[in-house]
Amino acid sequence: MYSQLCRAGRGQRDGGGGGGGRAAVRPGTGLEAWVASGGDGELELAIDGRLRRFPAVWLRDNCPCAQCLDPGSGQKLHDITDIPEDLTVAAAQDAGESVVVTYAPDGHRSVFSRSWLARHAPAEGSDHRTEDGDPRTEDGKDLWLAADLTPRAPSGPGRRPEGSWPRYLAEPAERARCLDAVLRQGFVLLHDVPAKNGMVLEVAASFGYVRETNYGRLFDVRVEPSPDNLAYTSREILPHTDNPYRDPVPTIQLLHCLRTADDGGDTGLVDGFCAAAALRAADAEAFDLLTQNPVSFGYQDKGAELCASQPLIELSPRGRVRGVRFNNRSALPLRLPYAELARFYPAYRRWAELLARPERRLNLRLGPGDCLVFDNTRILHARTAFSMSQNSAGRHLQGCYADLDGLASTLTVLRRTTGAEREARP
Amino acid sequence: MYSQLCRAGRGQRDGGGGGGGRAAVRPGTGLEAWVASGGDGELELAIDGRLRRFPAVWLRDNCPCAQCLDPGSGQKLHDITDIPEDLTVAAAQDAGESVVVTYAPDGHRSVFSRSWLARHAPAEGSDHRTEDGDPRTEDGKDLWLAADLTPRAPSGPGRRPEGSWPRYLAEPAERARCLDAVLRQGFVLLHDVPAKNGMVLEVAASFGYVRETNYGRLFDVRVEPSPDNLAYTSREILPHTDNPYRDPVPTIQLLHCLRTADDGGDTGLVDGFCAAAALRAADAEAFDLLTQNPVSFGYQDKGAELCASQPLIELSPRGRVRGVRFNNRSALPLRLPYAELARFYPAYRRWAELLARPERRLNLRLGPGDCLVFDNTRILHARTAFSMSQNSAGRHLQGCYADLDGLASTLTVLRRTTGAEREARP
């Protein structure tokens, strides 16, 4: 059934040549494969005319046979130490849409589909150095300035990510579009969420799980007589992220408007990833200072005392932006050596100025029934001061926290059923 | 009331000398202060005979006056951009236990206690480079091998962190001791937790908040007919961390034993931070490969599809270990360029071998009523295979997730009331 396509030879990594040779190219497929016996003897495969190499241990670690991968759970049944240390590819056979790999010394066999190998082929060279597959970094996002999300003509369609709660509930494709916006633009504004107590928890439950904290499952944002938090006053609050004193920080925040203020209390959103990219381009030294020095944040009331230390701009190990934290209200005294403090503060100020620029701030006025869902590791939120009149009940939002992983999972499962593909990137 | 202690002069940073001068040392206090007018004119203060310098902007950012710091919430009322950019310390005055700082150009005044300044004084030089105040890194932990937590003589007292649930409930100091163990040793074993359905949620609620996931608020670990997860079989499971496909990963896991297996099903714990430190010492190149390359993990069932990418060993921006992820069962195909894959696998194997060493594994046999609480970013857990007999109901654990920040907060608040100080470090 399998036709022998390949024979043993030395891989290119070993200098090529001696003893090795190529199997015939299969006409019409643009695909050829052969085995390297030198060193750790890998599989070599031409995909779309380009040579791709697959280390033996990588292939074996991904073997899809029922001995290696549990058919029920799809989980691997082996640990990395179960793989023979001196593993090589002894033979590779063409089997139509598959390639059958036989390993030495133990004779184990793996059957890989050609399409799977093509999709997962290790890159050659170092061009993939920054592609780390991490969905949380700037690379998977659509960065924006306020104008990017504002209709250019008064009557034109806005690109502001928004949706209607009844449609969101009724139509899986609409739900997928709204959730995708949280991952790509960092937020979505849902309208027509009934302005009822506790509805914010229903919105969270529609895509994930509430992250309960010392503020409760939900918290009321309104003026309190003896506030433990400046959020519970009528003061202006500049762009910030929530709960930087928590670790892990809640990665999603929801704010649902039950009542507006008579005047003021408007919401502003800033794309922290877009701002971080701008800082990196404009002032690499400031960017480095903010990514390399942790800042401690704290919160304290009768029942809680929280403290966490993380840089204001968090990078992936590959140096890509994967989180921002910004909240001077709860920043604790910086503990840096004197010389670094003197360098840090100008960088911190520059970052704050950049975040405060009007062109970065998307202004919204939440009305009763509006619910914002946003990525708290990326989007800073702000509000203008508002007035308190004696005759009205006053501004009242309800908020809660949730996490991005649950939202992303819900979106992926929705796409399985709706068949909706992620919109092609420009 | 305030006696003028100081006068204007050039700070040491500017070369010292010209025009500057010291105020008289206050006899008996070992403390002197003067103002530097050059550059950004900082406060200089001798504390225990050593000169400490405080940048003007740092002082102002930490001003404790009611205009700068909300007396109710303790939160800052200003943003960093509210501080004049050309701020200097114009004068500093001795006021007994306090130092009064007056700034130019705006004449704002801050009163700092001497003890606060001494406690928060910026370090000189670079000796504090790795002290980032981050409670999550290896620096705040007691690293261990199994023998460190095992009684040396059969009758001797074990150092294994454990406690009794009734005492934990009754005595705040006992509760603080148990929670401190989770932060320092990475786990605590609570005995005599009633072996009743759902009790694991009560244990979590005693110190924090349950992190609900697609597995529910709690999950049952027992043999299932069609398991979505290998945890729900009777197979051996090697040391691993849970849910590496989640981001943020749950930072605490609880496992409560309701029923033991007739034979086997023993639990093993490994200190991943201790192992990471050992890898760094033994093989710096392997350590670097594991800290710099993200690995993708995935999980999939009917209702969920999760994916996250993070390095197997996560570092703080200062290069200190702050998390481990290890779970070959759910590791997705590594996407690295060919040359890096060939280097990564030997490092991965070396790490796996190190984690599997018997001297690192603390073996426990959970009995009904035992509840393990452990740091899932640090401690790997494992179990031996177990037998299923026809006549018994079989091994049954209940688990849930929670987070370290809530636990640390509970501990800090407990210490406020019990007056219990964190045990002095050796």
* Residue from A266, A215, A277, A272 nearest A372 by CA: A266
Report which of residues A1 and A392 the model is more confident about.
Answer: A392
Amino acid B227: pLDDT: 82
* Phi/psi at B220 (5° precision): -95, 125
Q: Do B228 and A72 touch (CB under 8 A)?
A: yes
Tens of pLDDT, residues B178-217? 999 999 999 999 999 999 999 999 999 999 999 999 999 9
Report which of residues B285 and A342 the model is more confident about.
Answer: B285
Name the DSSP letter for residue A323: E
Tens of pLDDT, residues A87-131? 999 988 888 789 999 999 999 999 999 899 999 998 877 555 546
Give how far the C-alpha of residue A39 lies from the chain's centroid of Cα atoms, to the nearest Å.
38
Diameter over CA atoms, chain A: 92
Amino acid A391: pLDDT: 65
Which residues of B are less than 8 Å from A127 in CB distance? 337
* Amino acid (one-letter) located at B345: Y
Residue A58: enclosing H or E segment and its boundaries? Answer: helix A56-61
pLDDT of B11 > 70? The answer is: no
Residues A35 and A7: beta-carbon distance below 8 Å:
yes
Amino acid B6: pLDDT: 23
- For B251, which residue in chain A has the nearest alpha carbon? A248
* Residue from B240, B348, B339 nearest B294 by CA: B348
CA distance B242 to B324: 11
CA distance B330 to B245: 7
Residues B88 and B104: beta-carbon distance below 8 Å:
yes
Least Cα separation, residue B422 to chain A (angstroms): 15
Tens of pLDDT, residues A164-187? 999 999 999 999 999 999 999 999
Q: Do A294 and B316 touch (CB under 8 A)?
A: yes
pLDDT of A374 > 90? The answer is: yes
Residues 203-222 of B with CB under 8 A from A: 209-214
Amino acid B96: pLDDT: 79
Residue B233 pLDDT class (50, 70, 90 cuts): confident
In DSSP notation, B37-54 reads: -STT--EEEEETTEEEEE
Amino acid A14: pLDDT: 28
Amino acid A37: pLDDT: 42
Q: How far is CA B268 from CA B219, B237, B251, B372, B380, in A?
A: 20, 10, 18, 11, 8
pLDDT of B365 > 60? The answer is: yes
Give the nearest partner residue to A296 out of B129, B133, B249, using CB atoms.
B133
Amino acid A151: pLDDT: 72
Q: Do B294 and A405 touch (CB under 8 A)?
A: no
Q: To the nearest whole percent, how much of chain B has pLDDT over 70?
A: 85
pLDDT of B56 > 60? The answer is: yes
Residue A152 pLDDT class (50, 70, 90 cuts): low
Residues 138-197 of B with CB under 8 A from A: none
Residues A178 and A208: beta-carbon distance below 8 Å:
no
* Residue from B324, B266, B332 nearest B297 by CA: B332
Tens of pLDDT, residues B38-47? 445 888 887 7
Q: Do A317 and B315 touch (CB under 8 A)?
A: yes
Dihedral sign (CA A391, A392, A393, A394): negative
Which residues of B are less than 8 Å from A72 in CB distance? 226-228
B422 touches chain A (CB under 8 A): no
Which residues of B are less than 8 Å from A318 in CB distance? 292, 294
Amino acid B391: pLDDT: 65
Q: Do A229 and B73 touch (CB under 8 A)?
A: yes
CA distance B160 to A213: 30
Give the nearest partner residue to A134 out of B120, B309, B342, using CB atoms.
B309
B131 touches chain A (CB under 8 A): yes
Q: What is the mean pLDDT of residues A203-219?
A: 98
Residues A387 and A378: beta-carbon distance below 8 Å:
no
In DSSP notation, A161-197 reads: -EEEHHHHHH-HHHHHHHHHHHHHTSEEEEE-----T
Residue A406 corresponds to which tokens in the numbers above? 């649950």
Dihedral sign (CA B212, B215, B217, B221): negative
Bridge partners of B163? Answer: B190
Mutate to test the interface with A, among B40, B60, B75, B249 (most CBs of A within 10 A): B75
Lowest mean pLDDT among A83-97, A402-416, B323-337, B364-378: A83-97
Number of CB pairs, chain A paired with chain B, less than 8 A apart? 273
Tens of pLDDT, residues A222-276? 988 888 888 888 889 999 999 999 999 999 999 999 999 988 999 999 999 999 9
Residue B28 pLDDT class (50, 70, 90 cuts): very low
Q: What is the mean pLDDT of residues B247-254?
A: 98
Tens of pLDDT, residues B150-182? 876 555 445 899 999 999 999 999 999 999 999
Residues B399 and B383: beta-carbon distance below 8 Å:
no
B236 touches chain A (CB under 8 A): no
Q: What is the mean pLDDT of residues B55-62?
A: 96
Amino acid A354: pLDDT: 97
How much is the ipTM here? 0.90
B352 touches chain A (CB under 8 A): yes
Amino acid A87: pLDDT: 94
Residue A155 pLDDT class (50, 70, 90 cuts): low
Q: What is the mean pLDDT of residues B304-313?
A: 96
Lowest mean pLDDT among B113-122, B229-238, B325-334, B341-350: B229-238
Report which of residues A190 and A124 the model is more confident about.
Answer: A190
CA distance B292 to B241: 19
B135 touches chain A (CB under 8 A): yes
Residue A376 pLDDT class (50, 70, 90 cuts): very high
Amino acid B423: pLDDT: 40
- The label of the residue with tokens 């925040």 reads A253
Residue B13 pLDDT class (50, 70, 90 cuts): very low
Name the DSSP letter for residue B27: T
Amino acid B278: pLDDT: 98
Q: To the nearest whole percent, how much of chain B has pLDDT over 90?
A: 68
Which residues of B are less than 8 Å from A333 in CB distance? 58, 61-62, 120
Q: Do A337 and B122 touch (CB under 8 A)?
A: yes
- For B252, which residue in chain A has the nearest alpha carbon? A248
Q: Do B212 and A214 touch (CB under 8 A)?
A: no
Residue A289 corresponds to which tokens in the numbers above? 């200072």
Q: Do A55 and B338 touch (CB under 8 A)?
A: yes
Residues 47-76 of A with CB under 8 A from B: 52-53, 55, 57-58, 61-62, 70, 72-76
Q: Do B123 and A338 touch (CB under 8 A)?
A: yes
Amino acid B31: pLDDT: 46
Instruction: Count the Cβ atoms, other than its own, within 10 Å of residue B297.
Output: 26
Report which of residues B20 and B119 the model is more confident about.
Answer: B119
* Amino acid (one-letter) located at B355: L
- For A333, which residue in chain B has the nearest alpha carbon? B62
Residue B21 pLDDT class (50, 70, 90 cuts): very low
pLDDT of B32 > 90? The answer is: no
Residues B251 and B377: beta-carbon distance below 8 Å:
yes
pTM (2 d.p.): 0.90
Cβ density class A14-31: b for 16+ within 10 Å, e for less:
beeeeebeebeeeeeeeb
* Amino acid (one-letter) located at B104: A
